[in-house]
Amino acid sequence: MASGKDAARAANGAPEQAKRSTYIEVSSSIESEIRSGIYPPGSRLPPQRQLATELGINVSTVSRAYKELQLRGLVIGSKRRGSLVTGGAMPSVEPARATNNAAIDLTVNRPATGEFLECLARTLAELPRDPRYAQLQEYQPPQGPEWARAAGARWMAAPGFTPDAAHVVVTSGAQHGLYAVLNSLIGTDGVILADRLTYYGLKALAPVFQFEIVGIPSDADGLLTDELDAACRRMPVKAIFTVPNLQNPTVTTMSLERRMALVDIARRHGVAIIEDDVYGPLVSQRLPTLASLCPELTFHIAATSKILAPG
């Protein structure tokens, strides 16, 4: 944290106004280290007293810096576990490129064509003419404005699945939605069942909420339900996480028979289902969603990033 040290030392011999801004300098320095991956999601920041000694500043200044990081959504504080870096602090990811060994980074995927940039530019230019545009300049309800929730319900709709807008919550993308769901389910520990090859964002949240991901084998129809059932019998499972349509990276679409079997297992064991259906609209002949088969246990997550534009 060279920049944080420099700022602290300079402030120690500076006017009072500079001293008051030290915590901002320290928090900005730590934020840079978080976003560069020095402190990855789930890692702990140094204890406040230790960092204060290292920087030669007051503990209260470090405490204010840590609180600033919490306000920015980069850190969550816990008396038992200290200051943990959140999954929302994942560093920016460059476009996937082949390396010398021909490996391809699959942590993030985007529309296969760059045309979405031109379409998005045209759409953004048209937005101010929409009568709802003025509402965007005001504070919104935590669950999102009514018109946005209604639009979300229409976006998620599938054959046999017409969600009620009152049951929709608008989030800042699927990762934020997954964060909110896991925060409500996990607490400080738990087991999540998922494909052995699963979504990177789920893995990023595991150390944040201190839960274990148990990989379940799959075949061409999706998760093997015998393995799911056995796992639910031998361990305290909180939820089954699945991407039923075009699972990343196997591109498997779960069969209807397998979906019904998964729902049966969830009901028998009282386990929640997290249905990440960000690729659903890309499927030409969609099967029933897990949310339509088991609405009482399923959290259904949808997003526009994979279909319209990453932003």
Q: Give the E-state strand segments of 179-260 in sequence order.
A: 191-195, 212-216, 218-219, 222-223, 237-242
Choose among 27, 175, 26, 200: nearest CA to 88.
Answer: 175
Residue type, 90: M
Alpha-carbon gap, residue 48 to 52, rounded angstroms: 6
Dig out the tokens for 42 from the structure: 């789930």
Angle between the N-to-C axes of helices 2-12 and 22-35, in degrees from 0 to 180, rounded to the nearest 10: 180
Dig out the tokens for 225 from the structure: 């339900």
Domain residue limits, the chain: 2-89, 144-301
Alpha-carbon gap, residue 52 to 94, rounded angstroms: 34
Whole-prediction pTM: 0.70
Give the residue carrying structure tokens 């998620």.
Answer: 156
Q: Are domains 2-89 and 144-301 of this chain identical in fold? A: no
Dig out the tokens for 170 from the structure: 């608008």
CATH fold for domain 2-89: Arc Repressor Mutant, subunit A (1.10.10)
We find that the CATH architecture of domain 144-301 is 3-Layer(aba) Sandwich (3.40)
Give the residue carrying structure tokens 């402030």.
Answer: 11
Beta carbons within 8 Å of 115's beta carbon, 6+ residues apart = none
- Please, are residues 280 and 289 in contact by the beta-carbon 8 Å criterion? yes
Q: How confident is the prediction along the chain (311 residues), in pLDDT tens digits per residue?
A: 444 444 444 444 444 444 557 888 998 899 888 888 888 877 889 999 999 999 989 888 998 899 888 877 788 876 666 888 875 555 555 554 555 566 666 666 776 667 778 888 888 889 899 888 888 888 889 999 999 999 999 999 998 999 999 999 999 889 899 999 998 887 656 799 999 998 888 888 887 787 889 999 999 999 999 999 999 999 999 999 999 999 988 899 999 999 999 999 999 999 999 999 999 999 989 999 999 999 999 999 999 888 887 77
- Please, are residues 276 and 175 in contact by the beta-carbon 8 Å criterion? no
The enclosing H or E element of 84 equals strand 82-85
